[in-house]
Amino acid sequence: MSKQINVALIGNPNTGKTSVFNALTGLNQKVGNYPGITVEKKEGICKLPRGVKAHIIDLPGTYSLNASSLDENVVIELLLNKKGKDYPDVAVVVSDVENLKRNLLLFTQIKDLQIPTILVINMSDRMAYKGISLDLDYLEKELNTKIALISTRKKMGITELKELITNYKELSIKPCLDASTIDETYFNNLKKAFPNQLLYKLWLVITQDVNFGKTDRTTFDKVEDFKTKSKVDLKRLQQKETIKRYQFINQTLKKGQTIDLKSAKDLRIKLDRILTHKVWGYLIFGVILLTIFQAIYDWSSIPMDFIDGAFASLSEWTKNTLPAGAFTNLLAEGIISGLGGIVIFIPQIAFLFLFISILEESGYMSRVVFLMDRIMRRFGLSGKSVVPLISGTACAIPAIMATRNIESWKERLITILVTPFTTCSARLPVYLIIIALVIPEGRILGLSYQALTLMLLYLIGFGAAVGSAWILNKILKIKSKSFFVVEMPNYKLPLFKNVALTVLEKTKAFVFGAGKIILAISIVLWFLASYGPGESFNNADDIVTEQYASENLNENELEQKIASHKLEHSFIGIAGHAIEPAIRPLGYDWKIGIAIVSSFAAREVFVGTLATIYSVGNDEEETIKNRMAGEVNPILGGPLFNFASGISLLLFYAFAMQCMSTLAIVKKETNSWKWPIYQLVIMSAFAYIVALVAFQVLK
């Protein structure tokens, strides 16, 4: 029987911790949240020598155990809670060979917790390039640990790291230095007051907002003969501790690390001058965005056409092969057509995540954040607001969670409220199908009109977010004094494995997350579209036959008329006609109205809903795109999806708050229903007005 051990992967941001995690776990990983906390939790399984299995937890990046945010608190609480199910048997601290001095601060703190600790020095392939050499034997002796020198890029040292993890019981738990000498009297009194507790754990509980078993800050106030210090004095002691640790680290690296500056070749400064330039930086970023959107269209057209045709054929095959009846209709018209409406967008969504992952892996995204900070400040946003706004292009939910790093509550609130304007991947299916229907296939300077329209929608969303932030800033009278700090990681070629895993994980989460909602809604919609009350639905065959008796329709044409009549008098048809007067001025019919209402669960449901509605009673092997293109406006005549109604619909989805999950996470992050209700009402009203104006002007 194999044994399982817990391994905590810890490190500063941008040390390659994710690459180490991917190298150890491969596809055996999953992403969730810590119980009751909106902080991402990545965990995976790694097979070690001698039949040992390691449960690896990739903890949020942190610079030290002096926590300043919610995600850093998670790291400390996990390391303090010895009875917790995720308490590590061994800690693996990942450092970067070029920033070893800074990374070792965290390492020395974790050593004080007496957890068996391995030091991983990553990016060892850059040592010669940077003129760095290390005396590993000396460093291991001074740091009381074992060191794994690895390169995830060159796949070096991973086997040795696995061996060290397997033999974790041989590691020394002796601290690197005695931090209590910063105030010996205070720490001696603390030890006397709690003789059975680890001294450094007590110190963390006193100085941080964390829990340690049944001990919290109030416990110290109740102990006799122990005088607690003020917050100012504790902060001063923390600074002394940091200085003492860096004195030890400097002394150790003086002998253990040699850097030959003459042999260091660095293009980073030259590249940064161009990529963060106040003119060229924005132009380069604009060109990169245009290239991405053009590629999303050009590269994905073939697989999308294949998927669209395949689902149409599968639906038709199901109807022709299985026995006729309600179940076959549900399968062919409800489930298959509904899922086809989302699976078709897998290629484009995968390409979007591919490009975002490459930009992050290469180190360029940090430059974008730095570049955009110059604009953000003018609109009253914190510099740190750039991160949620940019990550909102994938999904608003993790983007809103990312605002927890913003110290000012008002700045954080504004960021939470405006982030849903950023175009997320859930809007992409709506944009792509409408753009394909109403924007002609032409090119200007090699760029297609459709790709330019898609980029324009992204820019409109970002502009709406920034503009509404400026308005909120004026209304709430915010006086921000916060400073924006972003670390510029070294440029590096993206690791194929990391990019592939990111694309796979994000696409899978999108498809399965949306798939569950779409499947449930497709079944409900099929039922509502397949059944109806009263004589108009039940006697549809007789009514339609009598109505068109003089027109000599063939059998197929008559069947289509009957199906259309049934749909219009079904439960969903009645509901659609009830809301049609409100949406007709926007250029929409009752079918689009149903799709808009149902997509409140998730925006991407819009396409799945129309796919289900148009499939009910339709026996033709026809793609969803062709069916939508063939729809006729019952009032104005001509195509229902024309330029005016298409632009109106695009603008409606650009601004409307069509996402139940986002509202739920806003409620959780703000701890109030007031803000998500404001969001829903204001964004929906704004979307309606803009869509109305657009249609009335363009029609």
Q: Tell me the C-alpha distance between 473 and 481, whole Å.
A: 13
pLDDT tens for each residue of 609-662: 776 666 655 555 456 667 677 777 666 667 778 889 899 999 999 999 877 777
Using pLDDT thresholds of 50, 70 and 90, give the confidence band for residue 251. very high
Q: Is residue 264 pLDDT above 50, yes or no?
A: no
321 versus 409: the higher-pLDDT residue is 321
Determine whether 202 is exposed, middle or buried from the number of CB atoms within 10 Å of its CB (0-12, 13-18, 19+).
Answer: buried
Q: Which of 137-151, 239-253, 367-381, 681-695 has the lowest mean pLDDT?
A: 367-381
Determine whether 635 is exposed, middle or buried from the number of CB atoms within 10 Å of its CB (0-12, 13-18, 19+).
Answer: exposed
Element (H, E) at 348: helix 346-362
pTM across the whole model = 0.61
Mean pLDDT for the chain?
81
Angle value at C-alpha 691, between 446 and 565, nearest 5 degrees: 100
Q: Which of 47-61, 252-266, 315-329 has the lowest mean pLDDT?
A: 252-266
Closest of 661, 649, 658 to residue 680, by C-alpha: 658
Beta bridge partners of 307: none
For residue 566, what pLDDT is reported? 81
14 versus 303: the higher-pLDDT residue is 303
Per-residue three-class SS string for 553-620: CCHHHHHHHHHHHHHHCCHHHHHHHHHHHHHHHHCCCHHHHHHHHHCCCCCCHHHHHHHHHHHCCCCC
Helices (H) and strands (E) in the chain, counts: 32, 11
Q: Is residue 386 pLDDT above 90, yes or no?
A: no
Contact 380, 480 (CB under 8 A): yes
Q: Is residue 161 pLDDT above 90, yes or no?
A: yes
- Across residues 378-391, what is the average pLDDT? 73
Tell me the CB-side half-sphere exposure of residue 294, using CA atoms within 13 A. 14
For 124, residues 6+ apart whose C-beta sits below 8 A from its C-beta are 97, 149, 150, 151, 156, 157
Using pLDDT thresholds of 50, 70 and 90, give the confidence band for residue 220. low
* The CATH number of the domain covering residues in 4-170: 3.40.50.300
**Phi, then psi, of 407 in degrees rounded to 5:** -70, -45
For residue 31, what pLDDT is reported? 57
Q: Is residue 540 pLDDT above 90, yes or no?
A: no
For 380, residues 6+ apart whose C-beta sits below 8 A from its C-beta are 414, 469, 470, 472, 473, 474, 478, 480
- Across residues 156-179, what is the average pLDDT? 92
Using pLDDT thresholds of 50, 70 and 90, give the confidence band for residue 35. very low
Closest of 430, 428, 389 to residue 406, by C-alpha: 389
Closest of 125, 649, 661 to residue 437, by C-alpha: 649
Sequence ranges of the chain with CATH classification 3.40.50.300: 4-170
Which range of 26-35, 336-345, 512-521, 647-656 scores highest in mean pLDDT? It is 647-656
For residue 187, what pLDDT is reported? 87
pLDDT tens for each residue of 451-475: 889 889 988 998 999 899 889 888 8
For residue 229, what pLDDT is reported? 75
Determine whether 400 is exposed, middle or buried from the number of CB atoms within 10 Å of its CB (0-12, 13-18, 19+).
Answer: buried
Contact 78, 8 (CB under 8 A): yes
